[in-house]
Structure 1
């Protein structure tokens, strides 16, 4: 059974995935787990594989969701992306994007997509 936080996280991932599809990306997988960490979304942007970290906050009163992607989290995402590529024999270009979301009472959500937010 999922906790309220997990349900909110899954909802945010669904919204992010739909948003990125509207931007032209194609979904591949969701919630990919390795011992090094988790990747929220795996998508294609033309010939580039895109790993997406989704961050959600109810408000940005105490900083933006993007600011919560610490150096430690970035390192885990890079290691996990490399492992994913190795395991799946991927040799195409890839990048790690961040989708930072906050709740906005007027528009439901404010979405900030940051392509290539994390670099190795």
Structure 2
């Protein structure tokens, strides 16, 4: 991944975090990694443990950002959620996988698409 794409992704994760916390969620972890992969954001929303994948793009030339989430990615996120919950002794919460798609416009604003409970 190039530095420009990494920077876009990092900015997108910050925008997503602000959006989700404004919705009342609490951030538990950011960019958590283990040998299985990485989770962009881990949050708590009431009794739900929310694992959130963030996808940021500058255009829809290759589709909407949320369309980049495949069945394989969802399966990996479910495995990662279990790993995170086990490592942090948070096994009593219900698991939810959310996706936040961000389309960054030339003026620096974003269109946010938040999909809750995908791949259940």
TM-score relative to the length of structure 1: 0.90
| Match status 1:37 vs 2:45 | no
List alignment gaps of at least 5 residues for structure 2.
Answer: none
Aligned to 2:78: 78
Dislocated runs of 4+, deviation >4 Å: none
What's the CA shift for 1:117?
A: 1.4
Aligned to 2:94: 93
- Supply the distance in 2 between the matched residues of 1:44 and 1:100 (Cα, whole angstroms): 19
Aligned to 2:61: 61
- Supply the distance in 1 between the matched residues of 2:73 and 2:32 (Cα, whole angstroms): 15
List alignment gaps of at least 5 residues for structure 1.
Answer: none
Q: Name whichever structure is richer in strand by fraction.
A: 1
What's the CA shift for 1:4?
A: 1.8
- Supply the distance in 2 between the matched residues of 1:82 and 1:105 (Cα, whole angstroms): 38
What's the CA shift for 1:118?
A: 2.6
* Alignment coverage as a number of residue pairs: 118
- Supply the distance in 2 between the matched residues of 1:93 and 1:54 (Cα, whole angstroms): 20
- Supply the distance in 1 between the matched residues of 2:7 and 2:28 (Cα, whole angstroms): 21
CA offsets 1:39-96 (integer angstroms, 9 cap, x no match)? 0001111121111000011111321111111122111111111111122222211211
CA contact (8 A) 1:65 1:101 kept: yes
- Supply the distance in 2 between the matched residues of 1:87 and 1:33 (Cα, whole angstroms): 11
What's the CA shift for 1:104?
A: 2.9
